[in-house]
Amino acid sequence: MASGRTPFILRVWMLLTWCLSLPMNALSWVLHRRMGADPKRFSERLGHGAAQNEQPVIWIHAASLGEVIQIGPLASHLMASQKATILVTTTTATGADWVAKHLPDVTHRFAPIDTPKAVGRFLDGWSVSAALFVEGDLWPRMLDGLHRRGVPQILLNARHSRTRARLPTVFGALLHPFALVTCRSDDVAKEMRALGLHADRVHVLPDLRLTLPKPAAPEQTISALSAALNKRAVWLAASTHQADEEAVLTAHLNVLEKHPDTLLIIAPRHPTRGAPLRELAQSRSLRIAQRSKGEAILRETQVYIADTLGELGVLYSICPLAFLGGSFGQEGGHTPYEPAFFETAILHGPNVKNFSDAYAALRQAGSAMQVDNAEHLGREVLALLQGDRAETMGQAGMAYVGNTEDCLNIYVGLIGEALKRTPD
């Protein structure tokens, strides 16, 4: 950002982060402890902790868990194709834990605070050859430092941002030097071009989450559950939270009035919800079996609580339709791509801000449908359990994700081209 065209707000930010570095450090320490992060690693937020070598690294910043889970295949591919060390930074402890578990070959650090000393230590300590940001979390001083050092900058999987819409001049200045911006939709790409970005550097690509592997679905487990169902009508409520569960149980009671043999499988987002979910269902006189307790699905079972980890692929395999949780409460929804991979029809509530582009695309493809409340959900479940509409929706979802099978190679190709450009 050249000073002559730097927006006033950014100049103020630069001044404030210079004058208020110590209070910002103190606040960051408090937040670091509150999230349960290792106290010994707080120094990373001050820019310390660089590897003791000068090897070039490709730096990928993914603020939290929702962003970092997108980068697994991409990080592995870049490590091989670019023959580079991969540095991943996150701001949250949950993101750090995910990297440690799923990407053991990359280097993880907590992202530095956007103060002069922290950013300076970070950039002086790491030989960053390229900086990739997932979805956003763009800090002015860091971007300015990267630009002054001639480091190519890339924004991946950009989505609509109210902040960006309110401050177009600011974000136009921040994003102008970027060598590549990939967007989830045409609308987001139009927003980016309206900021003054080079049109040939803005690309519409499938959601980066579509590069993730299909969830595991062991055939032996599928066969065992299918046998227990004994050809009963079944529907799934996946990744649910409390607000979803109350609505889902109400909907299922409505379904049982018309089809008393129907089974509901509920897979709560957090397995610890199993016990309170059981109490909630029993308070409504529903007959329960709970997977974590090893209880079998009997003919009289009306609700099966699948409070275990890593089995959503199995459940999508045996259920023709699924309601996706986090969409009746304030969580913002969960990914709809997983059920699409298994030809499962998708129902969801109105609150899916975390994946609004994905749900809109799948609704347009004919594989997803929004329901507004418990009664609406019950009606649609009843309708989908009859006839072949659920199968048609499932096939539409499978066709949608099938058309994106090569998107990882497209991402890697565009990134490779962007890294060859000379920064503005």
Q: Which of 67, 191, 245, 311 is catalytic?
A: 67
Chain mean position to CA 299 = 37
Active site residue 343: no
Q: Which residues pair with 321 in a beta bridge?
A: 345
HSE-CB of 107 using CA atoms within 13 angstroms? 18
Structure tokens at 385: 């359990």
Q: How far apart are CA 106 and CA 75, in angstroms?
A: 8
Cβ burial of 193 (10 Å; 0-12, 13-18, 19+) is middle
Backbone angles phi, psi at 248, to 5 degrees: -65, -45
Largest CA distance in the chain: 74
What are the C-alpha distances in Å from 146 to residues 273, 306, 423?
44, 47, 10
Closest CA to 35 of 85, 79, 94, 88: 94
Q: How far apart are CA 321 and CA 369, in angstroms?
A: 11
Closest CA to 367 of 320, 309, 328: 320
Q: How far apart are CA 345 and CA 263, in angstroms?
A: 16
Cβ distance 232 to 317 under 8 Å?
A: no
Cβ distance 53 to 46 under 8 Å?
A: no
Q: Which residues pair with 156 in a beta bridge?
A: 134
Closest CA to 232 of 212, 214, 255, 198: 255
Q: Give catalytic residue positions.
A: 67
